[in-house]
Homo-oligomer: A and B are copies of this chain.
Amino acid sequence: MVDDSARAPARARRTQAERRRQTRQALLDAALLQMEAGESFDALSLRSVARAAGVVPTAFYRYFTGMDELGLVLIEDSFRALRGMLRHAREEGRAPERMIERSVEILIAYVRANRMQFAFVARIRSTGNGVLRHAIRTEIRLFVSELATDLARLPILSEWTTEDLQLLAGLLVNTMIATVEALLDAPPDAAPSEAEIARTAARQMRLIVVGVPSWRSRPAAS
């Protein structure tokens, strides 16, 4: 207790690399937090982010050239988490029948755990600053493709064309996006509405997949 050897006054002694990491993360977190609180991305300012991170505005420039660059990093990070989710779902879900319910559960668990990231992505998806919007669209397209190749492994879909698989994957991702938006709209800890959203999502996905057996790429032309 009485020992010391390095007893800094409240402000711990840190290596410079670590300090840098912490400040950078504080900036990212501050931005994320403000977005979760309802602000749209381009409604928040460099100054307010720096302020919330407990840092003077000029320090911001040590890490990002501006808010745009910070936004791009945030997008990258968020989609890394999303990819983790997809991988998780891939390994977990194998039983073909309960697959939809499992997937929805995983999705919801991830939204709960990474609410800020999801809120950020959802907000920015349709919001200003063409650069960021474009980055998101690209990531989502990638996401759809990954899901499509996943689906290709299912026996029922083994004969589908790539194009049809993309179609199906796109439809499922659309539903997932709508689900996430509904979740984010609901209060953060409203268990009942959350359960209902989950139910709706699962039923919608089921409605999609029941059509799969009767699907023919180019249905007998009228």
Contacts and interface: CB of A to CB of B under 8 A. Distances in A.
A222 B175 contact: no
Interface stretch (A80-88, A108-116, A118-126): A118-126
Interface residues of A, number: 43
| A122, A168, A177, A214 interface centre (most CB from chain B within 10 Å) | A214
Contact of A211 (B181, B200, B214): B214
A29 to B, nearest CB: 19
A98 B170 CA distance: 23
Given A40-B128, A126-B123, A208 B206 contact: no
Given A40-B128, A128-B39, A207 B208 contact: yes
B128 A170 contact: no
Interface in A93-135: 97-98, 122-123, 125-130, 133
Contact of A126 (B98, B126, B174, B211): B126
Contacts of A174: 174-175, 178, 204
Chain A residues touching B, majority SS = helix
Nearest to A184: B126
Give the oligomeric copy count.
Answer: 2
Contact of A123 (B38, B128, B203): B128
A222 B102 CA distance: 14
Nearest to A38: B130
B210 A215 contact: yes
Contacts of A222: 97-98
B137 A185 contact: yes
Contact of A170 (B41, B167, B204): B204
Nearest to A213: B214
A123 B42 CA distance: 12
A124 B193 CA distance: 23
A125 B126 CA distance: 8
A39 B130 CA distance: 9
Contacts of A204: 167, 170-171, 174
B171 A175 contact: yes
